[in-house]
């Protein structure tokens, strides 16, 4: 690797920044220069740099500014390390936490997470996360229990769907909507979506809990009589047909008996009136008596004539 005289001054300035020269590399334009090479450049150019700084005060001020910036913006740690006050330390594996940071003599000290806590990734933290709880009051149940290296996984209860979710997890759920009477469930609810309802068509009904509407009962097909019309939320109601023939026969018999009774009463009063008229002597007693009783003695008839007011 070669460097121009101007590069020597730049590298020497960067080499003066770090107090820890172990495994550190500095950025020199597009190339990375090892510390040993940097030290060699520092030794060969330290005299020239010192002379330049003495002659040019503004260069000295600029170098101080660069040094302060480099102290603030130190080199980042590796992805498997975490930053501490003394540098970078190896992270603890999933399921554990940091007990104590690394030192020059030993690596990071780790401890397993206690029950009820977890750590699902390499970490530099000294506390594990508390396990989530699947609350049935929020419509959740446990799908996978919490472990040292993973949190609890919750899922909706039966009849619920998730309303707050992250990939593979659910934090809150809500009960599926219930269809009103007169509607049917046109789309069943799932663990991730609500149910959908649609109205029943004419001639069908549903109480809101079924996946389809049912046709109204046809009473005529069952030889029954319709007693209540069906609606979109209730079925038609049927009853037994009335016995028409026996009723008509009963009414006829009753009317016949009534007519016979009226006829008998009329005949009785008629005979009484005729009997009174005949007792006045206009007709013989035998003719005034009821023809149903022709055997009535003539003596009795004569006595009746004698007792009548018009016999004198």
Among 27-36, 41-50, 183-192, where is mean pLDDT lowest? 27-36
For the cut 50, the answer to whether the pLDDT of residue 33 exceeds it is: no
pLDDT in tens, 249-292: 778 888 888 888 888 887 877 777 776 666 555 455 555 545 54
Residues sharing a CB contact under 8 Å with residue 89, sequence separation 6 or more, in sequence order: 81, 82, 98, 101, 102, 107, 108, 124
Q: Which of 179, 143, 177 is nearest to 160 (CA)?
A: 177
pLDDT surpassing 90 at residue 217: yes
Domain boundaries, the chain: 5-72, 81-130, 261-311
Q: Which of 181, 175, 24, 11 is nearest to 87 (CA)?
A: 24
pLDDT average, residue stretch 197-206: 95
Q: How far apart are CA 187 and CA 193, in angstroms?
A: 10
Cβ 169 vs Cβ 144: under 8 Å: no
pLDDT tens string 78-127: 999 999 988 899 999 999 999 999 998 999 999 999 999 999 999 999 99
pLDDT for residue 13:
38
* DSSP category for residue 134: -
- Residues 44 and 62: their CA atoms lie apart, in Å, by 22
Half-sphere exposure of 220 (CA within 13 A, CB side): 1
33-39: list long-range contacts, CB under 8 Å, 24+ apart.
Answer: 33/1, 37/1, 38/11, 38/14, 39/15
Q: Diameter of the chain by CA atoms?
A: 191
Q: Which one-letter DSSP state was computed for residue 147?
A: B
List Cβ neighbours of 95 (8 Å cut-off, separation of 6 or more): 112, 113, 118, 119, 147, 148, 149
Is residue 63 classed as helix, strand or coil in its secondary structure?
helix
Q: What's this model's pTM, rounded to 2 decimal places? A: 0.49
118-158 per-position pLDDT tens digit: 999 999 999 999 999 999 999 999 999 999 999 999 999 99
- With 0-12 CB in 10 A as exposed, 13-18 as middle and 19+ as buried, what is 173? buried
CATH class of the region 81-130: mainly beta
If you count them, how many residues does the chain have? 312
Number of Cβ atoms within 10 Å of the Cβ of 114: 10
- Report, as an integer, the average pLDDT of 187-192: 94
Instruction: Kindly report the number of other CB atoms within 10 A of residue 109's CB atom.
Output: 13
């Amino acid at each position: 690797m070669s460097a121009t005289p101007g590069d020597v001054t730049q590298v020497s300035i960067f080499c003066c920044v770090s107090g820890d020269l172990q495994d550190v590399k500095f950025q020199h334009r597009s190339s990375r220069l090892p510390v040993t090479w940097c030290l060699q450049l520092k030794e060969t150019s330290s005299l020239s740099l010192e002379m330049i700084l003495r002659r040019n005060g503004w260069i000295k001020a600029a170098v101080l500014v660069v040094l302060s910036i480099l102290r603030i913006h130190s080199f980042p740690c590796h992805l498997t390390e975490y930053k501490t006050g003394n540098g970078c330390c190896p992270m603890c594996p999933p399921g554990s936490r940091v007990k104590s940071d690394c030192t020059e003599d030993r690596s990071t000290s780790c401890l397993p997470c206690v029950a009820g806590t977890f750590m699902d990734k390499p970490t530099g933290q000294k506390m594990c996360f508390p396990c989530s709880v699947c609350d049935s009051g929020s419509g959740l149940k446990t799908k996978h229990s919490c472990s040292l290296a993973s949190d609890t996984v919750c899922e909706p209860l039966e009849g619920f769907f998730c309303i707050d979710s992250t990939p593979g997890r659910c934090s809150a759920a809500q009960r599926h909507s219930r269809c009103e009477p007169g509607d049917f469930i046109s789309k069943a609810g799932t663990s991730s979506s609500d149910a959908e309802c649609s109205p029943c068509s004419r001639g069908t009904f549903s109480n809101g809990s079924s996946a389809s509407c049912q046709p109204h009962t046809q009473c005529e097909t069952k030889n029954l009589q319709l007693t209540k019309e069906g609606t979109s939320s209730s079925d038609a109601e049927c009853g037994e047909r009335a016995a028409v023939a026996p009723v008509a026969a009963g009414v006829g018999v009753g009317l016949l008996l009534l007519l016979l009774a009226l006829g008998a009463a009329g005949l009785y009063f008629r005979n009484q009136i005729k009997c009174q008229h005949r007792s006045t002597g206009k007709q013989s007693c035998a003719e005034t008596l009821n023809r149903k009783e022709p055997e009535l003695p003539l003596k009795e008839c004569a006595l009746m004539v004698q007792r009548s007011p018009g016999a004198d």
